[in-house]
Chains A and B, each alone.
Chain A
Amino acid sequence: MSTYLQFAVIKFRNKMAYRFDYLLGILNTLLSFVVYWSIYKALYGGASEVDGVTFSMVTTNFIISLGLSSAFYKNEMFLQDKIKQGTIANELLKPVNFKLRMLFEDVGEGAFNVAFNFLPTVVIAAFFANLSAPSSVLNVLLCLVSVVLGYIVLWQISFIVQSWSFWLFNVWGLITIKNVFVNILAGAYIPMWFMPDWLRNVIRFTPFASIYFTPVQLYLGELQGWDILINFARQLLWIVILYVIGEFCWRRGIKKLVVQGG
């Protein structure tokens, strides 16, 4: 494991080298928060709650989704670039598990984003926006566990789409489409509370609900007792299913790999 952590540490250190970049990153994160916050402020128009959802719950949802989307970093061009440039050969010559190595590099960058983009944004946002406190310490811990599980779900979806570059060489378009689906269906743009019931019921059977919404609900204490376990089980089930699909694509891909150049 220490070998893989090394990949995360190197990535973190590399990111530190670009100071201007992270100042802009804070500004960027803060701006997107302010935009969503203002839209929903106008929509609520002073009402304290809509459909039983308070304005501070919505604000908190956005803060958590924002935090998660900066923590949930994934370099979606990683595999495509390596295959296009033929440098995948060098990767395969390292005595490490390729997927884990890829995952940990992303974890390193995600950790950097949380420390230098997200946390400063929360501190600034707390001055003007009314954020909901977590319902209990236990809820925060449960939320953190489901964050980790949610990330593995999201990362694997990305990996599966990336692995198609073995056949297609260029998957940028597919990645973009995938991201639209993930962002909408996972509730990053519109909180799932406001979605029509039928859509919510459909999403419940997809991996998308496990990504952002489960952690948010756990943080706010919306889930109790058995529901918590069911949600964890759902996340774990998706991790297993996506792992099997990902492994299948990877193994087929590596067999037909063509090393470009030289």
Chain B
Amino acid sequence: METIIDVNNLCKTFKIHKRGTGFKGAVKNIFHPTYEYKKAVNNVSFSIKEGEMVGFIGPNGAGKSTTVKMLSGILYPDSGDITVAGYVPHKQRKEYVADIGVVFGQKSQISWDLSPLDSYEVIKHIYKIPDKKYKENLERFTELLDMGKFINQPVRQLSLGQRMRADIAAALLHSPKIVFFDEPTIGIDVVGKDKIRKFIKMLNQTDNITMIFTTHDMQDIEKTCERLIIIDDGKKLYDGSLENVKKGYVSSRIIEAEFESLPITLDLPRTEISDVENNAMKKLISFNTDEVSVNELMTALMNTHNIKDVSIREPEIDAIIRDIYEGKIVMN
């Protein structure tokens, strides 16, 4: 398989206007504006092969969306090189965007006042999609995304999940070679998320479309991607298989327990106890299932302490990133 996306030492800095608070701040701001510079993307490099499906993950403000916007030719990078399918996106924007599709979870591309079908007709003209291909794609997506019921309704009357599906179809009608999904499941319920993930996964397999998927929902990545790039604070922290991360991720667990008496002592390997804000009786116990089983831990706890309430938490994406920082997950 050939490399389709090649990114080298990509950087982008934003100038942020710092505004004072209140009336005084606003007045001061007129005469003496202050700025700060934020490195949104800091020296990021990676390459992606044709047909690959790569998940970009990281907390809010990590630089995922900025990277995707540069990859799709909307933003100019400050420095570094991007080549996608033989194009330099920001320089050959008009020709380049005809070959890609982009779905923004937070920005609808279809017209608010028109029905999805009307918007698709416009897209057909803009991208000059041949009649036959348009009809084929439309029928296929209507069926797969289950859009039959609402394809003729004005977009403003659709639910978020329906609108998202209509948006995804809109980005795919012209059969792009590469599709960027920027948080496509944000704010959507579990059933809706599942439909979207299945569709994306299927399309990647049957049509060999290269896909890049940004999200801060670990589940999205788990259900769709094999390769994972973790970005935080503008820097690439991890680039490798999902399996590798999952090993560390799946085996670490946190138990939240409320005790009747303090203090708590536990004599188990690599088990840490930390406090919970606003509740002295509640503790978080983190441990690794490779070394201590849930059973062992619970038995140890029950034998020595009286427990009022207990629940098991899966670590969040922030915790995984912290683990990577601390070297608990091996980077390749």
Residues of A with Cβ closer than 8 Å to B? Answer: 2-3, 6, 10, 14, 86-90, 92-97, 254-259, 261-262
Apart from A10-B122, A259-B75, list 15 A-B contacts with CB within 8 A.
A2-B125, A3-B125, A6-B125, A92-B93, A93-B72, A93-B74, A93-B102, A95-B98, A95-B126, A96-B126, A255-B76, A257-B76, A262-B104, A262-B105, A262-B182
Q: What total of chain B residues lie within 8 Å of the partner, measured CB to CB?
A: 28
Q: Is B183 an interface residue (CB 8 A)?
A: yes
Contact of A261 among B100, B107, B113 (CB under 8 A): B107
Please, what's the 1-or-0 string for B65-98, where 1 marks a CB less than 8 Å from any CB in chain A?
Answer: 1000100111110000000000000000111011
Total A-B pairs, Cβ < 8 A: 60
Which residue of A14, A92, A256 has the most chain B CB atoms within 10 A of its CB atom?
A: A92
**Chain B residue at minimum C-beta to C-beta distance from A257:** B75
Q: Is B137 an interface residue (CB 8 A)?
A: no
Are A257 and B74 in contact (CB-based, < 8 A)? yes
A-B contact pairs, 19 of them (CB 8 A): A2-B125, A3-B126, A6-B122, A87-B107, A89-B69, A90-B104, A92-B74, A93-B72, A93-B73, A93-B109, A94-B126, A95-B98, A97-B94, A255-B76, A257-B74, A259-B74, A261-B106, A262-B182, A262-B183
Q: Which residues of A contact B128 (CB under 8 A)?
A: 3
The docked-state distance in angstroms from the alpha carbon of A96 to that of B105 is 23
The docked-state distance in angstroms from the alpha carbon of A252 to that of B192 is 41
Q: Which residues of B contact A262 (CB under 8 A)?
A: 65, 104-107, 182-183
Contact of B97 among A87, A93, A254, A256 (CB under 8 A): A93
Q: Which residues of B contact A95 (CB under 8 A)?
A: 94-95, 97-98, 126-127
The majority secondary structure among interface residues of chain A is: loop
Are A89 and B74 in contact (CB-based, < 8 A)? yes
The docked-state distance in angstroms from the alpha carbon of A94 to that of B125 is 11
Q: Which residues of A contact B94 (CB under 8 A)?
A: 95-97
Contact of A89 among B95, B104, B127 (CB under 8 A): B104
The docked-state distance in angstroms from the alpha carbon of A241 to that of B107 is 36
Q: Which residues of B contact A3 (CB under 8 A)?
A: 125-126, 128
Q: Which residues of A contact B69 (CB under 8 A)?
A: 89, 259
B181 to chain A, nearest CB (A): 13
Q: Which residues of B contact A92 (CB under 8 A)?
A: 73-74, 93, 97
Q: Which residues of B contact A86 (CB under 8 A)?
A: 107
Q: Which residues of A contact B102 (CB under 8 A)?
A: 93
Q: Is B325 an interface residue (CB 8 A)?
A: no
A89 to chain B, nearest CB (A): 5
The docked-state distance in angstroms from the alpha carbon of A87 to that of B104 is 10
Q: Is B35 an interface residue (CB 8 A)?
A: no
Interface residues of B in 118-153 (CB under 8 A from A): 122, 125-128
Q: Is B46 an interface residue (CB 8 A)?
A: no
The docked-state distance in angstroms from the alpha carbon of A97 to that of B98 is 12
**Chain B residue at minimum C-beta to C-beta distance from A254:** B76
Question: What are the 4 tightest A-B residue pairs by CB atom distance, in nearest-first order?
Answer: A262-B106, A95-B98, A6-B125, A255-B76
The docked-state distance in angstroms from the alpha carbon of A175 to that of B130 is 41
Q: Which residues of A contact B76 (CB under 8 A)?
A: 254-257
Which residue of B98, B126, B127 has the most chain A CB atoms within 10 A of its CB atom?
A: B126
The docked-state distance in angstroms from the alpha carbon of A90 to that of B119 is 13
Q: Which residues of A contact B183 (CB under 8 A)?
A: 262
Q: Which residues of A contact B74 (CB under 8 A)?
A: 88-89, 92-93, 257, 259
